[in-house]
């Protein structure tokens, strides 16, 4: 999709090493959410509040932190570097429902998803999200 956006607007892909990490996290937040919304819209008969509730299982800072922890061994060196940049960033806001450490981990995960999305590696982002969903589900069972 990012390629189609660039084509329509006549822009070229940026050097992702130069994109501010919080911008990567901003894009990653939306890409992550869209991937989950697409998944559940196409695989469940839910709509409205129940659908939103299902997506929320995976998009909270606490869930994303758990996913980030679980995926550490799955990440390449390049991906770990992006994740760490995001985790170590100084966000302007913090979550009311998660610890600062969880919020930083969630920001790292969102930065990684944004990086992969903008780099045209949506398949890798989807693969990581799919693997990570099990870690978020552990939280809801506990």
pLDDT tens for residues 76-123?
A: 999 999 999 999 998 777 777 889 999 999 999 999 999 999 999 999
Degrees (nearest 5) of the Cα angle 125, 129, 132? 140
The model's pTM is: 0.91
CA 64/CA 58 separation, integer angstroms: 7
Do 104 and 140 touch, CB atoms closer than 8 A?
no
Q: Say how far apart CA 82 and CA 44 lie, in whole Å.
A: 33
Give the best-scoring range by mean pLDDT among 56-65, 70-79, 92-101.
Answer: 70-79
What are the structural domains, with CATH classification, of the chain? 21-141 (1.10.1520.10)
- Measured at the alpha carbon of residue 79, what is the angle toward residues 64 and 77, in degrees to the nearest 5? 130
Which of residues 1 and 13 earns the better pLDDT score?
A: 13
| Number of other CB atoms surrounding residue 137 within 10 Å | 15
Which structure tokens are listed for 58?
């995976």
Asked whether the predicted pLDDT for residue 67 surpasses 60, the reply is yes
Residues classed as catalytic: 29
Determine the average pLDDT of the residues in 32-48.
92
Contact 98, 66 (CB under 8 A): no
**Residue 69 pLDDT class (50, 70, 90 cuts):** very high
Nearest alpha carbon to residue 25 among 95, 98, 104: 104
């Amino acid at each position: 999709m990012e390629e189609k956006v660039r084509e329509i607007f006549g822009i070229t892909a940026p050097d992702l090493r130069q994109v501010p990490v919080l911008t990567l996290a901003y894009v990653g937040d939306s890409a992550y959410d869209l991937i989950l919304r697409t998944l559940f819209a196409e695989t469940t008969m839910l709509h409205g509040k129940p659908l939103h509730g299902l997506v929320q299982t995976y998009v909270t800072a606490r869930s994303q932190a758990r996913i980030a922890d679980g995926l550490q061994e799955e990440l390449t060196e390049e991906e770990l570097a992006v994740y760490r940049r995001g985790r170590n960033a100084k966000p302007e806001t913090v979550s009311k429902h998660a610890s600062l450490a969880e919020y930083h981990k969630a920001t790292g995960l969102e930065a990684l998803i944004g990086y992969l999305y903008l780099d045209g590696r949506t398949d890798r982002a989807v693969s990581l999200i799919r693997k990570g969903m099990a870690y978020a589900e552990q939280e809801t069972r506990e």
